[in-house]
């Protein structure tokens, strides 16, 4: 449908191949795993013998909360059927499915952004304001890094799922 | 057939070297946590297989079956990176040494490479 195109730049051809799509999904899983294990690494390090912070600072539930929210947001965003978002399709606009999808998607994005903001909040309030130095500070930095990686992973997953739609559309014709 | 035989022999050698590296990384330092890497890499192709069975490959118009396949791929990607991340995590907290972590990562990659190569060489073509 070239006349319905919105953007000036068209998608490159290689992005519609099935190989690029599955590579995208694999790398989304790898990125999410990296995020999760950065956070686990911070928690394990905080309770190991290497953590020598003088007033002892440990990872507790507060540090995990942003990651939980980010992961929840990612789950919501990527569970939504993307084709229901456009109200152009006649059969789905009747019951307000597109509207519902947009509300749920907004909740998902809000949760994802809230997780990112929460990570920065934990970094500032728990680590920077009390004036901790580097090896202790790395726990807060890894919190922000983990949330950023969850965001990146959900972007990659979103893009590769949209690729899939184009791909199956071409196949169906 | 001889080519298949050679492949089997070389793959089993690589698998044995991988297991040797992982077990050595545990036994040399009397700390058996890196054995988890083997479990991770053996489990890694499993979600792909299970979800590939669940999905119906005939209807590619309905995207709900593709979602199952994508979920399996996501889990596989998660587990593969977990195999690398777990020894690095343990070494960072000085539960194991960096040498042990390096050995178990190398061994794990060899084991997983064997599994993947085996699946690629001897893929059943029984689709009808």
Q: Which ipTM value was assigned to this complex? A: 0.81
CA distance A3 to chain B (A): 23
In whole angstroms, what is the distance from residue A30 CA to residue A45 CA?
22
Query: Do residues B40 and B75 lie in contact, with contact meaning Cβ atoms separated by under 8 Å?
Result: no
CB contact under 8 A, A164 and B70: yes
Q: How confident is the model at residue A97 (pLDDT cuts 50, 70, 90)?
A: confident
Rounded to the nearest angstrom, the minimum Cα separation between B2 and chain A is 31
pLDDT at B126: 47
Domain-embedded: residue B22? no
Q: Do A44 and B80 touch (CB under 8 A)?
A: no
Nearest to A51 by CA among A122, A128, A136: A136
- When divided into structural domains, chain B yields a total of 1
CA gap A35, A40 in Å, rounded:
9
Q: Answer yes or no: do A33 and B63 touch at CB < 8 A.
A: no
Specify the pLDDT at position B26. 86
- In this prediction, residues B10-26 reach a mean pLDDT of 90
Domain of residue B100, residue span: 32-121
Question: Do A37 and B89 lie within an 8 Å CB cutoff?
Answer: yes
- Which residues, at least 6 apart from B23, have a Cβ–Cβ distance to it below 8 Å? B35
* A-B Cβ pairs (cutoff 8 Å, strict): 77
Is the residue at B111 inside a domain? yes
With tokens 């196949």, the residue in question is A171
Q: How many Å from the N-terminal Cα to the C-terminal Cα in chain A? A: 12
* Residue B16, domain member (yes or no): no
Q: What is the pTM of this model?
A: 0.83
Q: Is residue B114 part of a domain?
A: yes
Distance in angstroms (rounded) separating the CA atoms of residues B125 and A106: 44
Q: Do B78 and A30 touch (CB under 8 A)?
A: yes
Residue B78 falls inside a structural domain:
yes
Q: Tell me if chain B has a CB within 8 Å of the CB of A143.
A: no
Check residue A67 and give its pLDDT.
Answer: 93
**pLDDT at residue A119, rounded to an integer:** 92
Report if residue B25 sits inside a domain.
Answer: no
Does A90 score more than 70 pLDDT? no
The reply to whether residue A33 touches residue B75, judged by beta carbons under 8 angstroms, is: no
Q: Is residue B17 part of a domain?
A: no
Give A138→chain B minimum CA distance, Å.
12
Interface contact A158, partner B, CB < 8 A: no
| Residue B109 CB-density burial (10 A; 0-12 exposed, 13-18 middle, 19+ buried) | middle
pLDDT digits (tens, 9 = 90+) for B47-68: 888 887 776 655 555 555 577 8
Cβ contacts of A119 within 8 Å, gap of 6 or more: A66, A67, A70, A143, A144, A146, A147, A148
């Amino acid at each position: 449908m070239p006349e319905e195109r919105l953007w000036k730049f068209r998608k490159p051809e290689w992005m519609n191949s099935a190989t690029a799509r599955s590579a995208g999904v694999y790398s989304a899983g790898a990125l999410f795993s990296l995020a999760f294990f950065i956070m686990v690494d911070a928690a394990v390090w905080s309770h190991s013998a290497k953590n020598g912070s003088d007033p002892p600072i440990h990872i507790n539930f507060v540090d995990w909360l942003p990651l939980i929210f980010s992961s929840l947001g990612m789950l919501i965003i990527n569970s939504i059927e993307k084709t229901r978002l456009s109200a152009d399709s006649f059969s789905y606009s009747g019951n307000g499915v597109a509207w519902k999808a947009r509300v749920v998607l907004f909740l998902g994005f809000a949760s994802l952004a809230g997780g990112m903001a929460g990570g920065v909040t934990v970094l500032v309030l728990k680590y920077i304001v009390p004036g901790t130095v580097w090896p202790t500070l790395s726990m807060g930095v890894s919190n922000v890094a983990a949330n950023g990686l969850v965001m990146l992973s959900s972007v990659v997953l979103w893009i590769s799922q949209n690729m899939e739609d184009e791909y199956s559309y071409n196949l169906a014709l | 057939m001889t080519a298949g035989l050679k492949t089997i022999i070389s793959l089993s050698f690589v698998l044995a070297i991988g297991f040797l590296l992982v077990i050595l990384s545990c036994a040399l330092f009397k700390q058996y946590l890196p054995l988890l890497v083997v479990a991770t890499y053996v489990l890694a192709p499993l979600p792909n297989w299970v979800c590939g069975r669940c999905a119906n490959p005939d209807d590619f118009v309905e995207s709900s079956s593709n979602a199952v396949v994508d979920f399996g791929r996501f889990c596989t990607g998660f587990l593969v990176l977990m195999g690398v991340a777990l020894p690095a995590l343990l070494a960072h907290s000085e539960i194991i040494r960096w040498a042990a972590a390096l050995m178990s990562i190398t061994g794990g990659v060899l084991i997983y490479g064997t599994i993947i190569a085996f699946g690629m060489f001897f893929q059943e073509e029984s689709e009808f």
